[in-house]
Structure formats: C-alpha cells, structure tokens
C-alpha cells in the first residue's frame, strides 16, 4: 500500500508493517495506525520514527528507554498484556516518545507514558505509569554534555 508522509515522501509499505493502537496515543486518540522507520537509514541510531499512517504530517521520534535508563521498570499486569495480545512470556518492544528541542543536547524522553509494542501481532498501547519515580521529561544526555562549559578568557 502507498503511505503519504510529509517528512519521508510517499512510501510503499506492507499492511503487516502497520502497528495498531486501539486507543490511539494520549493527546492523539484518533491516531491509531503507525509504522516504525529508521531515524536515518544511512546511520545507526538509537532513535526511530513512529510515522502516522493516517496523518501525513504526524511523526514522533521514539527510543528504547532501557538504553538510557538500564534499570527502567515497566511491570505489565496480565490484563495489560492482553490489551496488546501478548502471551505471558512473549517478548515485546518498549519505546518512549522523545522531544528534541532546538538545542538537541537537551532532548528528553517521556518515561511516564511508555509505548508497548507487540511486533508479532502488530498491536501497541501507550501505558501511563502511576509511580512517581520517572519523569515526562527525562534528559537523555548526561548533565556534563548538556551544560555548556565556560571558556577561559
């Protein structure tokens, strides 16, 4: 099928590449179909694009939160797993939406509302964690890389 996008032009995709979000995303409840694309096809990157299959202009940068917070805790109840058709021990992808400001060194990830993707069945859901241990704007780069150093005169 053809997918028209603002950022990537027209793409030829297979129906099986589409990931269905039955509830959409928070703030984008009508956006229920996405595809994952490499951040830059020519460069290995921890980031990916999650492009809407419904709105050509809508794409989110996402990443694996475990790359930045190795002890990130996402506990899915059996009821949660059923919402994305996961079997009890079936593997799944976890992604966080990234915000990249003009000063890219201050990019952040939303660790409070992770996206769980069952790639085998093409289903996904954004969950909201109720604990207070994570932030919606978790800096991805360490402080020493974010803070400009003063130059001696």
3-state secondary structure 5-62: ECCCEEEECCHHHCEEECCCECCECCCCEEEEEECCCCCCCCEEEEEECCCCCCEEEE
Distance from C-alpha of 22 to C-alpha of 145, rounded to nearest angstrom: 38
Q: What is the pLDDT of residues 98-129, one digit of tens each?
A: 999 999 999 999 999 999 999 999 999 999 98
Question: In the prediction, which pLDDT does 75 show?
Answer: 84
Helices and strands, counts by H and E, the chain:
2, 11
The count of C-alpha atoms lying within 13 angstroms of the C-alpha of 142, restricted to the half-sphere facing its C-beta, is: 1
Q: What φ, ψ does residue 6 adopt, rounded to 5°?
A: -75, -40
Pick the CATH number of 2-140 from 3.40.50.720, 3.40.50.620, 2.30.290.10, 3.40.50.300: 2.30.290.10
Question: In the prediction, which pLDDT does 149 show?
Answer: 54
Q: Which residue has the tokens 């475990």?
A: 66
Quick one: tokens of 127? 């969950």
pTM of the model: 0.90
- Give me the chain's average pLDDT, please: 91
Domain range summary for the chain, segments of one domain joined by +:
2-140
Nearest to 117 by CA among 67, 65, 44, 72: 65
Question: In the prediction, which pLDDT does 147 show?
Answer: 66
- Beta carbons of 36 and 50 less than 8 angstroms apart: yes
3-state secondary structure 101-114: CCCHHHCEECCCCC
Q: What is the pLDDT along the chain (153 residues), one digit of tens a residue?
A: 999 999 999 999 999 999 999 999 999 999 999 999 999 989 999 999 999 999 999 999 999 999 999 999 998 888 888 899 988 788 899 999 999 999 999 999 999 999 999 999 999 999 998 877 899 999 999 888 886 654 555
């Amino acid at each position: 099928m053809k997918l028209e996008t603002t950022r990537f032009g027209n793409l030829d995709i297979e129906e099986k590449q589409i990931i269905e979000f039955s509830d959409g995303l928070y703030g984008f409840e009508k956006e229920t179909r996405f595809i994952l694309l490499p951040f830059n096809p020519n460069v290995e990157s921890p980031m990916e694009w999650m492009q809407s299959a419904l709105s050509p202009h809508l794409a989110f940068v996402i990443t694996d939160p475990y790359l930045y917070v190795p002890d990130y805790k996402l506990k899915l109840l059996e009821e949660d797993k059923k919402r994305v058709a996961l079997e009890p021990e079936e593997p799944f992808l976890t992604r966080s939406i990234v915000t990249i400001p003009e000063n890219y060194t201050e990019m952040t990830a939303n660790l409070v509302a992770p996206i769980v993707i069952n790639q085998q069945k093409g289903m996904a859901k954004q969950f909201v964690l109720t604990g207070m241990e994570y932030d919606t704007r978790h800096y991805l780069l360490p402080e020493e890389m974010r803070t400009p150093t003063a130059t001696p005169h």
